[in-house]
């Protein structure tokens, strides 16, 4: 798929790490650089192009809002700040979204999906066939590579999801909606509010349930049309 190049302008190291980790979990984002102040970013942008900027407001030397006003060719901008009182000013400067710290991954994903939708509408010819065959999950303080072909199903467990693969089961702090955005739609389908299944692992089904590798999973009433189309 076509990737959106982005940069982070943020002077708090922990905030940079959080944003960089979030970017790494989204297949259609690619982090180019991070900058601790807007002047360094301005210099870099003279010779480089990005589609998205994550921008803090309270920066040394040049404040975030002042930096925005200096841009002649403005990419999409997502404000990241602990202060809500600048929201109206931000939207007056045509920012895409305004994220309050501490930023939850679900809220982050909502914001970047807005940009993905707009970018697709503006540049439909640039969207490539999905070729990536894996993603990385954060579990027990480490990043683990998981092949899409190994996944059997995903199950929601409140604020966590259980990713069941051929070899191992992973429990990660994501919602099923967040992980659904990370999975290729040609291979996975949601059949219940709490379950996403691998189409290739499907062995049998009825109107009320599906069976994968000997495991029976319910089909939600609102998702029966998904099974009918398989």
DSSP 99-135: EESSPPHHHHHHHHHHHHHHHHHH-GGGPPPP---EE
Residue range 134-229 in CATH 2.40.50.1020: yes
- Whether the CA torsion 84, 90, 92, 95 is positive or negative: it is negative
Q: Averaging pLDDT over each range in 108-122, 129-143, 172-186, 196-210, which range is the top one? A: 196-210
SS3 at position 156: strand
Span 67-86, pLDDT tens digits: 988 887 789 999 998 887 76
Q: How many CA atoms lie within 13 A of 177 on its CB side?
A: 10
User: Average pLDDT of 85-97?
Assistant: 72
Q: Please report, for the chain, the start and end positions of each structural domain, with discontinuous segments joined by +.
A: 4-126, 134-229
How far is the CA of 12 from the CAs of 45, 59, 80, 118, in angstroms? 21, 9, 11, 29
Give 7's pLDDT tier (boundaries 50, 70, 90).
very high
Indicate the CATH number for domain 4-126: 3.40.50.2300
SS3 at position 13: helix
From 47-61, 98-112, 130-144, 178-192, the region with the lowest mean pLDDT: 130-144
pLDDT for res 8: 97
Q: Residue 201 gets which letter from DSSP?
A: G
The answer to whether 46 and 69 have CB atoms below 8 angstroms apart is no
The answer to whether 49 and 133 have CB atoms below 8 angstroms apart is no
pTM: 0.54
- Cα 122 to Cα 130: distance, rounded to the nearest angstrom: 19
User: Residue 210: CB partners within 8 Å, gap ≥ 6?
Assistant: 191, 197, 202, 204, 216, 217, 219, 227
Nearest to 81 by CA among 99, 67, 108: 99
Is 43 or 120 the better-scoring residue by pLDDT?
A: 43
SS3 at position 205: strand
Nearest to 15 by CA among 40, 34, 42: 34
Strand ranges inside the chain, DSSP E: 4-9, 29-35, 52-56, 76-81, 97-100, 134-139, 142-147, 151-157, 160-165, 169-172, 188-192, 195-198, 202-205, 209-212, 215-218
């Amino acid at each position: 798929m076509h990737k959106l190049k982005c940069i982070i302008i943020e002077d708090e190291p922990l905030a940079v790490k959080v944003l960089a980790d979030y970017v790494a979990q989204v297949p259609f984002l690619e982090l180019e650089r991070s900058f601790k102040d807007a002047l360094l970013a301005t210099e870099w942008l003279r010779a480089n192009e990005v589609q998205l900027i994550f921008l803090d407001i309270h920066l040394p030397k040049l404040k975030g809002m002042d930096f925005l006003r200096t841009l002649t060719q403005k990419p999409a901008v997502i404000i990241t700040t602990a202060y809500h009182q600048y929201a109206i000013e931000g939207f007056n400067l045509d920012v895409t979204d305004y994220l309050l710290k501490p930023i939850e991954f679900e809220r982050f994903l909502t914001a970047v999906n807005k940009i993905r939708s707009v970018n697709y509408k503006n540049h439909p010819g640039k969207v490539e066939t999905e070729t990536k065959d894996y993603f990385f999950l954060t579990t027990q303080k480490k990043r683990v590579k998981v092949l899409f072909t190994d996944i059997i199903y995903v199950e929601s467990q409140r604020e966590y999801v259980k990713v069941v693969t051929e070899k191992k089961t992973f429990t990660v702090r994501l919602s099923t909606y967040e992980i659904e955005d990370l999975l290729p739609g040609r291979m996975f389908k949601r059949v219940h509010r709490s379950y996403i299944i691998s189409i290739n692992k499907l062995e049998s089904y009825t109107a009320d349930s599906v069976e994968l590798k000997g495991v029976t999973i319910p089909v939600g009433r609102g998702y029966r049309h998904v099974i009918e189309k398989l």
